[in-house]
Amino acid sequence: AQRLAAALVQNPLGDEVRHVQTKLLPQDLGVIEQTTPEGFALRTSTAERAALELLHLAPKIFGLVEAGLIMESMTLIRPKLMQSLLEQCASIKARRLFLYLAERADLPVIRHLDLDRIDLGVGDRSLVPNGRYVAKYQLLLPKELVDPG
């Protein structure tokens, strides 16, 4: 397991820093190396990988509506990288959520993905009680993410 630099854990801005590790994706896919102003080497997720990580952690750590709002702003997702990430993602829920939210937000990436190569599994995924059902992706979601504006 990687350790976070003490400078990041003891954040002077007071923001919460949470380190979450999963086996959601291959370790090196969609990861870049950056250097902090303090000179620490830090491996971080690309926006494409971070989108799937966010959706994987929703709704337990992040709200689904919040995740949907974040996804709406992700207009520069690189199709080739996203295709690889979706094909290798271990979470059916994250794959389905990504595709639904990208389609809902009319993100350009959705027109470039080969959906036939992305396994969406079988069976319903209920993410909230008393939500709205999206038949195409077999998801039960908050009504705010399904009902029009």
Q: Is residue 88 part of a domain?
A: yes
Q: Is residue 1 part of a domain?
A: no
Q: Is residue 137 part of a domain?
A: yes
Closest of 16, 46, 51 to residue 34, by C-alpha: 46
Q: Is residue 60 part of a domain?
A: yes
Give the pLDDT confidence of 92-135 residue by residue, as tens digits. 999 999 999 999 999 999 999 999 999 999 999 999 999 999 99
Q: Per DSSP, what are the bridge partners of residue 132? A: 141
Residue at 19: amino acid letter: H
Q: What is the pLDDT of residue 37?
A: 87
Total structural domains in the chain?
1
Query: Which pTM does this prediction carry?
Result: 0.86
Helix axes 47-57 and 64-72, enclosed angle (nearest 10): 160
pLDDT band at 40 (very low <50, low <70, confident <90, very high): confident
* 112 φ, ψ (degrees, to nearest 5): -110, -5
**Spatial distance between the Cα atoms of 134 and 20, rounded to a whole number of angstroms:** 29
**Spatial distance between the Cα atoms of 84 and 21, rounded to a whole number of angstroms:** 20
CA 76 from chain center: how many Å?
14
Residue 132: give the domain boundaries. Answer: 6-146
Q: Is residue 132 part of a domain?
A: yes
